[in-house]
Amino acid sequence: MTSLLNKPFTNGLATDYTYRSVISRVQSEGMASGDRTGTGTKGTCFLATDYLLTGASVPLVSSKKTNLKPLLVELEWYLKGTGNIGFLKEHGVKIWDAWADENDDLGPVYGKQWRSLEDTRIILSSDLQKYLDRGYLLETEIDEKRSLVTRNVDQLARIVNTLRTNPSDRRMLMSAWNVAQLEDMALPPCHFAFYVWSRELDFPTRLSMASDVGRTHSQYGHESMYSRLLELLDSGTEINDELMDNLGIPKRVLCSSVMQRSVDVFVGMPFNIAGYGILTHFIAQITGHMAASLTHYGCDVHLYDNHQEAVEEFQARELPKSSDPVVILPEAWEEIDDFRWDGVVVEGYEPLPWIKVPVAV
């Protein structure tokens, strides 16, 4: 855990260095390949990268601007658990328009699997009570020996509940890769698995992490339990675990990972790492944790052939050393459904201009 807190430069710079290293590896190691869109790619496989979330940091690439509104609206859309893009269109976000049908439906993608995974079974009627106890509903009695039962599984709520009740559990994984429904999806999920890991902090690490968040909140005039802790530290008050407990400072750290089968490095990856970073902060907040890191694991990691000119422009840019983005969430948010895209505040993000490229559909 201590190694996560030792950094030679700001988390913002670290994000850009790491992201640029992915581009460099694809360029140097990548192999040419055709693809579903007919555009052509150069790619490699199985790259893992780490992004620090300490001090409320969010892994936003600063060497080119990432548009925050679509990112945040999309995250709330995921949390709503629907495959219909009506919510996105309502807020002027068009990133999924090219794949939706005439009814604005994408099928059971992403959030639908996260929040309402469909589970239908034919069971022996003699086992019915066991299934009812698990939350299934009896749909019909097929015959005197068999019954049809169904339920919807909220995978994200299960993770949240486990973090609250048994946080050292090693089964806190959420999957969007529902093999039985892939043909029903307009596009099978690219980022398909999300895992969280929680451990209790020792006193020095707890104080260090909470102080980092406190400095962030104080810098941007945000009053919170963390800024109150920093005020006590600055006043010379002796800090101990009991005092931090009374302030509500979490005792546990949360790390997360996301696995992505197909990584469009130049367009999609900045969205993905930032979105899952904010999601990790949100889950940490509503479960009594402090977020520490996100690991992104890419399976097929590629650059599209028609992005090469833009990639060269990007790699030639100087790193924007003043950009160190952090995320601040309302303390009042305590449950999954409290999330609102326009309630998320990102501070310290001073990116270089956006680089426009075509999106392969």
45 annotated active-site? no
Cα 148 to Cα 181: distance, rounded to the nearest angstrom: 19
Whether 122 contacts 146, CB under 8 Å: yes
Catalytic residue among 45, 190, 255, 299: 190
The token pair that represents 152 in the structure block: 């919807």
Question: Which has the closest alpha carbon to 227: 212, 242, 243?
Answer: 212
CB 140 within 8 A of CB 148: yes
And the tokens for 159?
Answer: 């993770």
CB 324 within 8 A of CB 348: yes
| DSSP string for residues in 34-78 | --TTSS-EEEEEEEEEEEE-GGGB-----SS---HHHHHHHHHHH
Alpha-carbon distance of 305 to 122, in angstroms, equals 48
Residue 245 in contact with residue 191, Cβ under 8 Å?
A: no
Which DSSP helix (H) or strand (E) runs through 26?
helix 11-29
Query: Strands 289-304 and 252-264, how do they pair?
Result: parallel
Tokens coding 99: 């794949």
Tell me how crowded residue 13 is: count the other CB atoms within 10 A of its CB: 18
Report the 10 Å Cβ neighbour count for 240: 10
Distance (Å, rounded) from C-alpha 50 to C-alpha 43?
A: 20
In sequence order, what DSSP letters do the residues of 184-215 get, joined into one string?
Answer: GSSS--SEEEEEEEEEEPPHHHHHHHHHHHHH
Paired tokens of 215: 């400095």
- Asked whether 249 and 225 are in contact (CB, 8 A), the reply is yes
Residues designated catalytic: 190
